Structure 1
Amino acid sequence: MKKIIQNTFLIFGSLLFCTMLFELGVRIFAEPEFDYTQASADESALWQYDAKLGWAMQPNGQCTFSRPEFSSEIQTNAFGLRDDDFSKEKAKDEFRILLLGDSVVAGFEVQRDGTMEAQLEKRLNRQLSGKKIQVINAGVRGYGTDQELLYLLERGMALQPDIVVLGFVPANDLENNVTVHTAGRIFSKPCFVFDEAGHIALRGIPVPDYDLQKQIYSAVMPQRPEPVAAADGNQNALKVFLSKKLRSYAFVARRLKTAPPEFVGWLKKRGILHNSLPPEQVDFYRFPLNDDWTARWKITLAIIEQMHAFCIKNETDFLLWSFPQKEQIYSRDRVIFTRSFAVDDDELDFDQPEKKLRTFARQNKMQYVETAAGFRHRAKSGERFHFITDHHLNENGHRLMAEILATHITKKTINELK
């Protein structure tokens, strides 16, 4: 027994010594890695409570938004939008495009002039003459399609857009549209449900407060056990602690994420490397869809249909585009995804979201821009449009998105503008 204890102490002592030696080497020879304690803002940066929307961005606010791969200066205008100041009244020769969306459209991960809004505005003004083109960035981090509809109804249409462009992030928005409160978020949100006549009806106004760690779904979702939120919180706290105390932790963590995809998937499957996607995410690409994802799609498409109808009523064009996930674009990320969830590639249909949206748009005579194919084609050359450690678009991605949207908008509107 005494020998076992001695050997145990010897093993732990050796591991501790090697760790200290490695830490010393990293501090002396390696460039400093990103310190998560220095992340200058979280997803709720510039949020303020809004009784109708749940939250909105503060007017005339500013912050620095930093992560390992980027650092951006964020400013909002008098309307609480990440945009220049502008008059609510549209000039006679002005053509306005309103971009609705979540963090993908808000583009906190890039500088203001690198966002799809800024680049789309430059492209259209260069390609089209005779009128001034203004693109308004109404993207808000954390928003679901339901909040984007409410924003359009309450405030967006008052800005007199000629085209409303909805940026839809299927995997993310489908979840947000059936959620009343996401565990860990400082504010809750309203939601839409179906009434007895089968129409969508708004619930939860004014938006109440909920326990910070409660995950609460709307009535459209099948009953399910409540997920435990504490685990993610503890994991994030541990990450911050290790990042603060051990420079070697950040050194290793950063390089693991760029390791061979099979190895990264293996680590995520066993919980050694954090998998930011919930286990149910794999079912998003299965066919047929289970009851949970069917419920998400049903309410979401009804919300988009309502948005489209409102635009028609106000004689405003409506354009829908979908955001491509990394596993839909890059072979490396697809391998990581399938290995993480221990599934074979042929068990999933990664084009299913676009197929569903394409059919929906055709049935409702709606303009729809499918972006995944364009991103995949350009990615074959090795170009990267998403960040490695973050699922958002980098500046290349915003530029390509602006290019795709500009091509479609130009073809559809050039005769009207002339």
Structure 2
Amino acid sequence: MKSHWQFAQRHPFVSNAMLMAFSVVFTIVVIDLTAFYLLGLRRVGYGPERFFQYSSLLGWEHIPNSEGTWYAYKDGTRTHVRINSFGLPDSERNVEPDRPRIALIGDSTTEFWEVDEEFRGQYVLQNALEDRAEVLNFGLRGAGTDQVYIRMRQQVIHFSPDIVIYTFCINDIGNNMVEDSKPYYALDPDSDQGISLRGYPIRREIPQEDSRLLGLLQHSFVLRKLKHFVIGITPHLRTNQPLEDHFELRPFKRIYDAEDEKRMEVLRRIVGALAGYARGQGIRLLLVEGLYRPALDSEMRQQVVGAYGDQFDFDKVSANLASLSAEFGIEFLSLPRLARNRALDAKMLMHREDTMHLNREGVKFYADAVAERISKLGWLNEAAVSYAGAGR
């Protein structure tokens, strides 16, 4: 005790700093214990480890029959997630259809986990179509167009869809370039389709444990609130990273370099392969361009231009998708263009922390637009006639 007193006298600054640090930690612990046990202000929910597992086919997949609360946003948004026995982010389904069937394919923007279960795309679209078709959800968080195509051939086809809706997300272009955790397609002039599958099967790596600091941030009420205060509860544009590494913004560059052209050519080839496969199976394919908030929100566009300069064309991706859709004879629906034509506010359609995922109003906008296009094309009538003719 005497030595501690002597140390404090000799090093008052260090001693005071240690006392202050102890006081801060003690205060945080007391507040956290009170918040956690007395007030119930705890982090309720699970991250990806609850719902995803390794897959030698796709790199990762949903865990069949998993269930729990999905927690991904700072504002406390929590939704219930249920994976069915087939590993689909959907309610339980039969393999054999009892009416015309629509399959939704894509990434997390097709999972619709940002809204409660009854407001997810498959159910809202089915209601918009007045139950004339059964709508199944094959969304897979983080998937690129390459994984969507593989899943179409290996899994979706066994559920006998009459119509397939591929919702393109802007980060699909970058995800197609990821090579270390999933299968991918590389340009191959010797292949009939101009691409060949690489990196398959996927080697399972030993998962890394989350850092203790991350666990502390997730479970500490005080540190979470401090983090939210510093970062804010707003859509994250990540304008602090180089444009070349920005999956979402890079495709909107007005002038493409060689790497950008390569990425677009890979996307073009995969979509062409998907269109050809669907046509060969007698399946109607609709390519839907999902929303990207900076393409609609003038405030966010100003942030982008302020960070990277005036080098963007926020209709370029829509134009590219329209072009390749016309080339391969598939139907195309651009939600960004539709939203702009109707003068819709992106803030009313998207989760307030997100640049790509929809809220309830956004899901309804998506479902109504898709239902209107399908009805206008007469695809459900065709499917119903085919269904009846097959005696199903």
TM interval, short-chain normalised: 0.7 to 0.9
Amino acid at match of 1:254: H
Q: CA RMSD in A?
A: 3.9
Alignment of 1:375-390 (within 5 A): 375-376=339-340, 377=342, 379-380=344-345, 383-388=348-353
Asked whether the 8 Å contact 1:330–1:379 carries over to 2, the reply is no
Which residue of structure 1 lines up, in the alignment, with residue 173 of structure 2? 174
**For residue 90 of structure 1, what is the aligned residue in structure 2?**
97
What CA distance in whole angstroms lies between the structure 2 residues aligned with 1:296 and 1:88? 35
Deviation readout 1:102-132 (Å, 9 max, x if unpaired): 1111122222211111100111026xxxxx3
Residue 389 of structure 1 deviates from its aligned partner by 5.4
Which residue does 2:365 correspond to in 1? 400
1:125 aligns with 130
Kindly state the Cα deviation for residue 21 of structure 1 after the two structures are TM-superposed: 12
Paired position in structure 2 for 1:302: 269
Among 315, 327, 346, the residue aligned to 1:351? 315
Contact persistence 1:257–1:389 (CA under 8 A):
no
Mapped contact 2:45–2:68 kept (Cα < 8 A): no
Structure 2 CA distance for partners of 1:35 and 1:302, relative to 1, 3 Å? farther
1:240-298 superposed Cα distances (whole Å, 9 cap, x missing partner): 534545x454334434555899xx98xx6679xxx999457543321221222222211
Superposed displacement of residue 56, structure 1? 2.2
Residue equivalent to 2:377: 412
Q: Distance in 2 between matches of 1:200 and 1:193?
A: 5
3-state SS of the aligned residue for 1:179? coil
Name the aligned partner's letter for residue 173 of structure 2.
L
Return the TM-score normalized by structure 2: 0.79
Q: Does 1:319 align with 2:291?
A: no
Structure 2 runs not aligned, ≥5 long: 1-9, 386-392
2:254 maps to 287
CA contact (8 A) 2:45 2:71 kept: yes
Cα gap change, 1:242 to 1:315, in 2 (>3 Å):
closer
1:415/1:390 Cα in 2 relative to 1: closer, same or farther (>3 Å)?
A: closer
Match of 1:330 in 2: 297
Whether the aligned pair in 1 keeps the contact of 2:275 and 2:285 (CA below 8 Å) is yes
Q: In the alignment, which residue of structure 2 is the partner of 1:116?
A: 121
Please say which structure displays the higher CA radius of gyration: 2
| Aligned residue pair count | 367
Q: Deviations over 1:54-107 (max 9, x none)?
A: 22222222222123342122112222112222322222xx11111101111112
Aligned ranges 1:229-268 → 2 under 5 Å: 238=213, 240-242=215-217, 244-245=219-220, 247-256=221-230
Map 1:54-203 → 2, pairs under 5 A: 54-67=59-72, 68=74, 69-91=76-98, 94-125=99-130, 132-170=132-170, 172-181=171-180, 188-198=181-191, 199-203=194-198
Structure 2 SS opposite 1:138:
strand
Change (3 A) 1:238 1:355: farther
Match of 2:389 in 1: none
Pairing 1:208–2:182 present: no
**How far does residue 356 in structure 1 lie from its aligned partner after superposition?**
0.8
Percentage identity across paired residues of the two chains? 22
Give the secondary structure class of the aligned counterpart of 2:78. Answer: strand
What runs of 5+ residues in structure 1 fail to find an aligned partner? 127-131, 182-187, 214-232
Secondary structure of 2:85's counterpart equals: coil
Cα drift, residue 51 of structure 1: 2.2
User: How has the CA–CA distance of structure 1 residues 243 and 45 changed in structure 2, closer, same or farther, with 3 Å as cutoff?
Assistant: closer
The DSSP-based 3-state class of the residue aligned with 1:180 is coil
CA distance in 1, matches of 2:345, 2:381: 34
Contact 1:41-1:63 within 8 A present in 2 as well: no
Which amino acid in 2 is paired with 1:166?
Answer: Y
- CA distance change for structure 1 residues 243 and 59 in 2, over 3 Å: closer, same or farther? closer
Q: 1:119 to 1:257 in 2, by over 3 A?
A: farther
Partner SS, residue 123 of structure 2: helix
What is the distance in 2 between the residues matched to 1:17 and 1:379?
52
SS at match of 1:410: helix
Q: Counterpart of 1:347 in 2: which secondary structure?
A: coil
Counterparts of 1:11 and 1:338, CA distance in 2: 46
After TM superposition, give the deviation of residue 159 of structure 1 in Å: 1.1
The 1:330/1:204 distance shift into structure 2, 3 A limit, reads same
2:4 aligns to what? none
